[in-house]
Amino acid sequence: MDPAGLVWIVTGGKSGLGAAVAHALQARNAYVAVLDLNASPDDDNHAAPNLAHFQCDAGDEPSVKHALDAVKAHWKGKKWGGVVHAAGVGMAGKTVGNDGQPFSFDVFQEVHRINLLGSFLVASNVAAILAAQGGTIPRDADPSTIKDRGVIILTSSVSATEGQMGQVAYGSSKAAVEGLVLPMARDLARYGIRVMNIAPSLFSTAMGKGTSDKVRAGLLAGTLHPPRFGEAREFGQLALAIIENGYLNGGTIRIDGGGRMAKA
């Protein structure tokens, strides 16, 4: 799918991986709507005409719907291409801490609210807009004439399958995100909408820089090549490649330098 001239939603797009995706799409002449909890009208004062910011709490249904309505009004009449959902949080803690207390249930719920519920909220609401644009594909349609009508990209983590100690909330939330991908792709196939997921390892973003020296050293020791953390632009390049490659659907792509996590 060519992203040019279409409206794309990028959550968490003010910084880190989301900002890299927004930049990659802008460079391909797409209209980019950045949905971010920290977005404000001031962000658009010096923005390019094909970039706009909208305040949004991805884990809150009214907030998501309000932001998407604002995007519609901002670029009224323009066709949408899809969404790259990069918003997420990581809060570390063991099932039972060193103080003998169970991991905070409030924190556990908040991680799942943002990472899992937010993924579903954003994806399902954008999918409804994409489905309304094109309708269902006729059963007797010639396969050679069927084109993409939308792309949804979610973001999990290698922690979904290799969660280290202290990642009980984060790892389980990201595993659940991966569980959304195939059933959602099957649900939306009749509309010509593809669904994919990216599972990054540790990247040189705010979340990555916030890890301890011990964890960083352990992750680097398990990385094959190149022996460094990922760069946000590489995540953006992969998201763009998924959008443009029409035969990628219903799966997860790791971007991890060949690394595997140890237990701690």
Q: Tell me, what CATH number does 202's domain have?
A: 3.40.50.720
Q: Which of 31, 170, 191, 247 is catalytic?
A: 170
Least confident piece of the model among 35-39, 99-103, 224-228: 224-228
Q: Give domain status of residue 261, yes or no.
A: no
Residues spanned by the domain of 196: 7-255
Q: Give domain status of residue 234, yes or no.
A: yes
pLDDT attached to residue 261? 81
Peptide bond between residue 226 and the one before it cis (omega within 30 degrees of 0)? yes
pLDDT, tens digit, 9 for 90 and up, residues 80-99: 999 999 999 989 999 999 99
Q: Give domain status of residue 176, yes or no.
A: yes
Q: Give domain status of residue 214, yes or no.
A: yes
Q: Give domain status of residue 264, yes or no.
A: no
pLDDT at residue 115 tops 80:
yes
Least confident piece of the model among 41-55, 98-112, 155-169: 41-55
Q: Give domain status of residue 260, yes or no.
A: no
Position with higher pLDDT, 261 vs 208? 261
pLDDT, tens digit, 9 for 90 and up, residues 8-53: 999 999 999 999 999 999 999 999 999 999 998 788 877 789 999 9
Q: Give domain status of residue 175, yes or no.
A: yes
Q: Give domain status of residue 105, yes or no.
A: yes
pLDDT attached to residue 5? 97
Report the first-to-last Cα separation within the chain, whole angstroms.
Answer: 40
pTM assigned to the model:
0.94
Distance (Å, whole) CA 185 – CA 197: 11
Is-catalytic flag, 170? yes
For the chain, the domain total comes to: 1
